[in-house]
């Protein structure tokens, strides 16, 4: 059984809704180099992958945090930490994700992930 949406419009609507849940208002990029990429992100990454059955949004968010931490993608990790907090994932849970990830991807990457978490918490005045 396929998890694909029936139409491109359905995919886009699903993707935009997930983006809004994670990050707030949905605003596709207007930067010329990013317009097509933004559309693909909405339609395929969020409209197809994040909307598949089998995992809840919180689980997908936790997986994403771990992968971004493990690969050292600090800018995207910061964005997704904010999204995780919006989903109700606690700073303590995110800290545990970084510690767990460090044991599989390398200690410095886990430390960087914890640093990004601290930066986001400071921005949001979370203690």
**C-alpha Rg value of the chain to the nearest Å:** 15
**Cα distance between residue 111 and residue 122, in whole Å:** 16
Can you give the residue ranges of every domain in the chain?
Answer: 8-49, 57-123
Fold of domain 57-123: AhpD-like (1.20.1290)
Prediction pTM value: 0.90
Q: Give per-residue pLDDT as tens, 26-82.
A: 888 888 888 999 999 999 999 999 999 999 999 999 999 999 999 999 999 999 999
């Amino acid at each position: 059984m396929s998890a694909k949406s029936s139409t491109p419009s359905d995919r886009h609507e699903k993707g935009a809704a997930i983006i809004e849940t994670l990050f707030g208002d949905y605003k596709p990029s207007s930067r010329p180099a990013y317009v097509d990429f933004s559309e693909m992100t909405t339609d395929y990454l969020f409209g197809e992958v994040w909307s598949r059955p089998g995992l809840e949004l919180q689980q997908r968010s936790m997986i994403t945090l771990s992968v971004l931490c493990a690969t050292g993608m600090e800018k995207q990790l910061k964005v997704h930490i904010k999204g995780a907090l919006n989903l109700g994932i606690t700073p303590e849970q995110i800290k545990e994700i970084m510690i767990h990830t460090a044991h599989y991807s390398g200690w410095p990457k886990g430390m960087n992930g914890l640093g990004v978490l601290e930066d986001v918490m400071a921005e949001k005045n979370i203690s």
